[in-house]
Chains A and B, each alone.
Chain A
């Protein structure tokens, strides 16, 4: 992070990420909020790129900006009265307090932590290293996650399955 390009990139991406994240909370229109959330995700992906975590950056775009956002969209579209927008609620004050507490804690921790700076430079390639780690050292969590996903997929199919629909046709 020595040269001017990396520093400029960091500040541009950081302001993009934080700014659009703030706008997600502020804007009234829920669909606008989703679009801004995607912008925030893309900013985070850009930050990963500056940290030479290329695989994580692309996975961030693929999973968060591509898939999770569509999931949120579907949730909004299927919610009754989603058209009434991001209106005022009773939870406003407690949530504000909670946000302040969380923000304060994170800020304090990040200021107090003794950050160690790696001096070995950037990684060459992360994709193959991640793949090997996932299938050797972390194979159990990896398999558990895949089984969990399979279970949820089967559950979804069972939920919407129609009994004897194909037979009566």
Chain B
């Protein structure tokens, strides 16, 4: 796959053309082939190089971003942040990771030992696997699946079970509460994610991520201009998926200690911590590929390596997550669920219908892209603003007296259903 992609296109298929690091790998693989290795050797070697590269990049980015995040949030909150280990505290993340490696990973007495051990691995794997389908640059993709978008959602869905395993096996009420909260959140926001990505697929006509990037580069536009509302919804759903403020009720310190990983320590906790960061990078990578043009930027990719553009956009999107974490207060669980089901879901559904109609009209009437795309973008942007404001007004968020005062308790639902007051309600 890598070898085929090297030929053609504006890129020079020489190993030193590092606009596509795949070139260097491709040259290496060709050398292997010339040595007379069997067919499967280049295949396996390219896979290994890709996996190692992605893993090393993730670890390096994580170490840097732990420092950036802590310092940035400290700045936002008018304090100093880590500033003792190394110049400006730069070595703090390294010291922290060393500490995680060396600390004892305690397994509590009454925990379910097997699941307690499996859960960190199970949560780490999906966060890594997502990067298999993400195109870092032209040709720099590990497995260019033709069902890439669906693959992303499917892999993210595996998270739910891993979180539940961690919470349940800890045999701790806070861990179980955190796990149940996460499960409820993840199933709700998965729907939003699917509907948001559906709009992208409708436009691009393909679920292959490199095709979506190619579509955006072909029409010289980014899908965020055509799909402002789903892009926002995807980012919000992504923040829920990776448990970042203001959606971090699954590990709300003030309510349930640390949520589903309360009982974890040492390197097992390190796995959860790393998986959260990796998933954050994964969400950013997908948002960049699908909404922000991936490795293209209106011709700039002919001068700057595509993977550099991609990484710059990725870090920018990830910084938005840091920014929201530093500034927004945590939502209550009923607010979060109501936001998904009453606000985002109807709007996403409406968006899918509208986008379907737009694409149909565009195709049937054979309009030129220069006319159709600006009109579609303007219509969708106007619709986004009108929907957010109008729907918010309709739900009564403009009038404080109509806001719900407290959550409907489970016992009250039961009482309502059985027609009598439940004990303790």
Contact = CB atoms under 8 A, between A and B. Distances in A.
Contacts of A94: none
Interface stretch (B65-73, B93-101, B149-157): B149-157
Contacts of B160: 66, 70
Contact of A169 (B161, B190, B405): B405
A65 interface: yes
Contacts, number: 77
A54 B157 contact: no
User: For chain B, what secondary structure do more than half of its interface residues adopt (helix, strand, loop), or is it mixed?
Assistant: helix
Q: Which of B150, B154, B168, B405 has the most CB of A within 10 A?
A: B154
Nearest to A163: B416
B146 interface: yes
Interface in B130-185: 145-147, 150-151, 153-155, 157-158, 160-161, 164-165, 168-169, 180, 183
* Interface size grouping (class) on chain A: 20 to 34
B115 A54 contact: no
Contacts of B154: 58-59, 61-62, 65-66
B408 interface: yes
Given A160-B413, A162-B408, A166-B404, A66 B115 contact: no
B417 A35 contact: no
Contacts of B40: 5
B183 A73 contact: yes
Contacts of B394: none
A61 B157 contact: yes
Interface in B382-408: 404-405, 408
A168 to B, nearest CB: 10
A77 B177 CA distance: 12
Given A35-B161, A169-B405, A159 B168 contact: no
A58 B412 contact: no
B165 A59 contact: no
Contact of B157 (A67, A160, A166): A67
B146 A159 contact: no
Interface size class of B (residues with CB under 8 A): 20 to 34
Given A35-B165, A73-B183, A58 B150 contact: yes
Contacts of A132: none
A65 B122 CA distance: 13
Given A59-B150, A70-B160, A31 B112 contact: yes
A59 B147 CA distance: 10
Contacts of A58: 145, 147, 150-151, 154
Contacts of A29: 112
The listed residue with most B CB atoms (<10 A of its CB), out of A58, A59, A125, is: A58
B183 A70 contact: yes
Chain A contact residues: over half helix, strand or loop, or mixed?
A: helix
Given A55-B147, A70-B183, A35 B158 contact: no
Contacts of A61: 154-155, 157-158
B147 A127 contact: yes
Nearest to A45: B154
B207 interface: yes
B146 A32 contact: no
Interface in A40-54: 54
B74 interface: no
Interface of B: 40, 112, 114-115, 118, 145-147, 150-151, 153-155, 157-158, 160-161, 164-165, 168-169, 180, 183, 187, 190, 207, 404-405, 408, 412-413, 416-417
Given A32-B114, A65-B158, 4 more contacts: A54-B147, A55-B147, A159-B417, A163-B416
Interface of A: 5, 29, 31-32, 35, 38, 54-55, 58-59, 61-62, 65-67, 69-70, 73, 77, 125, 127, 159-163, 165-166, 169
12 contacts: A29-B112, A31-B169, A58-B150, A58-B154, A59-B150, A61-B155, A65-B161, A67-B187, A160-B413, A160-B417, A162-B413, A165-B416
